Amino acid sequence: MCDKATWAALVESGYRIGDRFLYLHIPMLRGDDITQLQLAISALGFDAGRADGIFGPDTRRALAEFQRNVGLPSDGVAGPDVSAALERLGRNPDRATPVSTVRERERLDRRVPLLQSSKVIIGEEGSLSALTLAIARHLRDIGVRVVTVQHPDPAHHARQANDFEADLYLGLQLDTTERCIGRYFEVEEFQSIGGRQLAEQCAQHLAPLLEEKPSIKGMRLPVLRLTRMPAVSLRLGPPRTIVRRTPELSKALTDGVIEWLSTPVRTP
Q: Please name every residue paired with 183 in a beta bridge, in sequence order, or none if there are none.
A: 217, 233
Other CB atoms within a 10 A radius of the CB of residue 150 amount to 16
Domain with 70 in it: 4-104
Q: Using 50, 70 and 90 to split pLDDT, how confident is the model at 93?
A: very low
157/225 Cα distance (integer angstroms): 12
CATH number at residue 213: 3.40.630.40
Residue 267 belongs to a domain = no
**Whether 236 and 190 share a structural domain:** yes
Instruction: Write out pLDDT tens, residues 181-217.
Output: 999 999 877 889 999 999 999 999 999 998 778 899 9
Q: Nearest-5° angle of CA 226, CA 228, CA 229?
A: 125
99/44 Cα distance (integer angstroms): 8
**Whether 140 and 199 share a structural domain:** yes
Checking if the pLDDT of 230 tops 90, the result is yes
Query: What's the distance, Cα to Cα, between the start and end of the chain in Å?
Result: 39
- Predicted TM-score (pTM) of the model is 0.83
Q: Which amino acid does the sequence have at 91?
A: R
Instruction: Write out pLDDT tens, residues 6-23.
Output: 888 888 889 999 899 999
Contact 187, 40 (CB under 8 A): no
**Whether 174 and 131 share a structural domain:** yes
**Whether 133 and 86 share a structural domain:** no
CATH number at residue 38: 1.10.101.10
* C-alpha closest to that of 236 among 228, 219, 223, 248: 248
Which ranges of the chain does DSSP label H, i.e. alpha helix? 4-13, 32-43, 57-69, 80-89, 99-110, 129-141, 154-164, 193-206, 222-226, 239-244, 246-262
